[in-house]
Each structure stands twice: as structure tokens, then as C-alpha cells.
Amino acid sequence: MGLVTNGEPEAQIAIASGRGHLMQILEALARVTTKSRVSLYQQVDKLRTITPMGATLVLVSRTRTPALSSLACQLERDGHSLLCITSEQGSVVGKPAVALA
């Protein structure tokens, strides 16, 4: 599991496993705010070419824009599993590939 955020502070945590790594990701998520200098679309589009084939991506956004919807379709065509979560009336689009307990 890895993490890329476009909120403040920005965070990029490389893909790895283990309890310590998970704690690092959870701590980063706890600090992230909704303020951002780069759009989520730009951030994910930039990283799309280096994301491992077949990776499961979870996109969390305040709103689902046409640009983000287009990018989600591109990611799925590229072979990624995708779950999009927006805070618009608690909407969730896509099917999670992994259930977290």
C-alpha cells in the first residue's frame, strides 16, 4: 500500500507493507487538510504512468468533476481497480477490490 495526497501537507509514501508502514500512512492521512495547490486530477494523471499495472487505487475527493470521471475511466482502461469516494452526499463509485477489516 502507498499514499499520495494533494492536500496540505502533501504526502507521498512509497508502496510497501507491514504494520509500521500502515501506521505511517494513517498518520499522514490524519494530518491532511482539503487545501491543495494541485488538483487531484493533475496529481493522479502525473502518477498514472508510474503506478504499477493492476494496482488498486482509492480516490477520495470533495466532488466528482468531469475531469476526474474521465481520469477514472482511463485508469480502469489501464487495468487498475478503482474506488472513488466523494463527500457529495456520501457517494461511492466503483467496487472495492479489497475489504479492509
What is the overall mean pLDDT for the chain? 79
- Residue 48 located in a structural domain: no
Tell whether the model's pLDDT for residue 6 goes beyond 80: no
For the chain, what is the domain count?
2
- Residue 94 located in a structural domain: yes
Give the pLDDT score at 98. Answer: 36
- Residue 67 located in a structural domain: yes
Give the pLDDT score at 45. Answer: 82
Both 29 and 63 in a single domain?
Answer: no
Residue 7 corresponds to which cell in the numbers above?
492536500
pTM: 0.66
- Residue 61 located in a structural domain: yes
Structural domain for 96, as ranges: 53-101
Both 33 and 57 in a single domain?
Answer: no
* Model confidence band, residue 88 (pLDDT cutoffs 50, 70, 90): low
- Residue 90 located in a structural domain: yes
Q: Provide CB contacts within 8 A for 15, sequence distance 6+.
A: 1, 2, 52, 55
Q: Beta-strand (E) ranges in the chain? A: 3-4, 12-13, 56-61, 81-86, 92-94
Both 60 and 84 in a single domain?
Answer: yes
In angstroms, rounded to a whole number, what is the distance separating the alpha carbons of residues 51 and 29?
A: 20
- Residue 42 located in a structural domain: no
Both 66 and 97 in a single domain?
Answer: yes
